[in-house]
């Protein structure tokens, strides 16, 4: 299942073995929230499945790279650490978010994702109604990166995903994440993408030179004036 501010779509391939079916949000000022759409969603009997994978549009989540200290091991300790990390970056609103992070060793850099607690509750109720288990919750950025990672290479690099009115960029070095940032911008704002990329490079604790910025999610290529030493490569694979 994919969730976006405009509605949701269910991949029948992950549930039963068919094609994509989409239920968009209603038009007009009275359009239901995604939480309300999930409350009304009912699978046909032959589409029920024991496990559910949820992919969030970047507009519905907040992501940052975290590193758990060596002494933070228990689930409750890690959740407290995540809450503090997001509160430091995003402020008091982080208190109302549900935060998950990839399994990680101490001092290993991994993405952590925060979503509104009400949305998480709606997903939980959907699973309860259909006797399903929530198997995974990830952002569209992480989902797309994982599906395209065989096309990415380099000791230093970056991956950008263009979505509706948002762009997300992740930097890596030596197979480890350095940072992930998401910013609202027009779909074909090459200067905006270049500026976000340059800001992330400037914030890195060590110089990142001679890398490739891989870009996915756009139906056509356009100019992106990257920092010196960086090259651009467009990925045309399906990013659904």
User: Rounded mean pLDDT of 192-214?
Assistant: 94
152-234: what CATH class? Answer: alpha beta
Domain spans of the chain, in order of start: 1-139, 152-234
Cβ-contact 227, 201 below 8 angstroms? yes
What integer best gives the mean pLDDT of the chain? 85
Task: Give pLDDT, residue 21.
Answer: 42
Start-end of H helices in the chain? 12-15, 34-40, 75-90, 117-129, 140-148, 190-203
Cβ-contact 143, 4 below 8 angstroms? no
Task: Give pLDDT, residue 25.
Answer: 47
Cα 117 from Cα 101, distance rounded (Å): 15
1-139 has which CATH code?
3.30.420
Residues 6+ apart with CB under 8 A from 9: 1, 2, 20, 21, 22, 23
Lowest-confidence pick of 13-17, 46-50, 214-218: 13-17
Can you read off the two tokens belonging to residue 219?
A: 């139906």
Share of the chain above pLDDT 70, in %: 87
Residue 6 has pLDDT above 70, yes or no: yes
The residue ranking higher by pLDDT, 25 or 210, is: 210
């Amino acid at each position: 299942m994919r969730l976006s501010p405009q509605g949701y779509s269910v991949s029948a391939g992950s549930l039963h073995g068919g094609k994509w079916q989409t239920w968009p949000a209603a038009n007009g000022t009275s359009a239901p929230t995604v939480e309300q759409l999930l409350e009304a969603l009912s699978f046909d009997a032959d589409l029920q499945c024991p496990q559910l994978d949820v992919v969030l549009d970047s507009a519905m989540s907040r992501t940052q790279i975290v590193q758990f200290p060596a002494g933070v091991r228990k689930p409750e300790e890690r959740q407290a650490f995540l809450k503090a990390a997001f509160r430091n970056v995003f402020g008091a609103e982080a208190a109302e978010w549900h935060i998950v992070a990839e399994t990680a060793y101490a001092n290993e850099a991994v993405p952590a994702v925060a979503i509104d607690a009400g949305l998480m509750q709606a997903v939980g109720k959907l699973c309860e109604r259909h006797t399903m288990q929530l198997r995974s919750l990830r952002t569209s950025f992480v989902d797309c990166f994982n599906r395209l990672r065989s096309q990415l290479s380099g000791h230093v690099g970056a991956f950008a995903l263009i979505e509706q009115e948002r762009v997300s960029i992740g930097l890596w070095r030596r197979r480890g994440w350095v940072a992930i940032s998401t910013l609202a911008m027009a779909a074909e704002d090459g200067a905006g993408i270049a500026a976000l990329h340059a800001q992330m490079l400037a914030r890195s604790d060590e110089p990142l030179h001679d890398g490739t910025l891989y870009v996915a999610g756009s139906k056509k290529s356009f100019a992106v004036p990257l920092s010196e030493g960086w090259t651009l490569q467009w990925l045309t694979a399906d990013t659904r």
